[in-house]
Amino acid sequence: MICPKNKTSKARTRSRKANWRLVAPNLSSCPSCRALKAPHMACAKCGYYNGRAIIEIKDDTKKKRRR
């Protein structure tokens, strides 16, 4: 078993743990429908990427029931 030679100070421990934080994802707007999307990804709302339809989006509004 390895035992530490010296005590690790609070400043050293806390400065090491300071980089563990959440970062908000970068979002850009879709040029065709103006919805927020991740850059370099096809839009989840309209299915367009780089001005072309890549994904065929099905309309799920008819399936959902409102209570």
pLDDT per position as a tens digit, 20-44:
888 899 999 999 999 999 999 999 9
Confidence of residue 61 (pLDDT cuts 50, 70, 90): low
How far is residue 39's CA from residue 14's CA, in Å, rounded to a whole number? Answer: 34
How far is residue 66's CA from residue 41's CA, in Å, rounded to a whole number? Answer: 31
33 domain residue, yes or no: yes
20 domain residue, yes or no: no
| Mean pLDDT score of the chain | 88
Question: What residues make up the domain containing 51?
Answer: 26-58
What is the domain count for the chain? Answer: 1
pTM: 0.54
Q: Tell me, what DSSP letter sits at residue 35? A: -
CB 13 within 8 A of CB 19: no
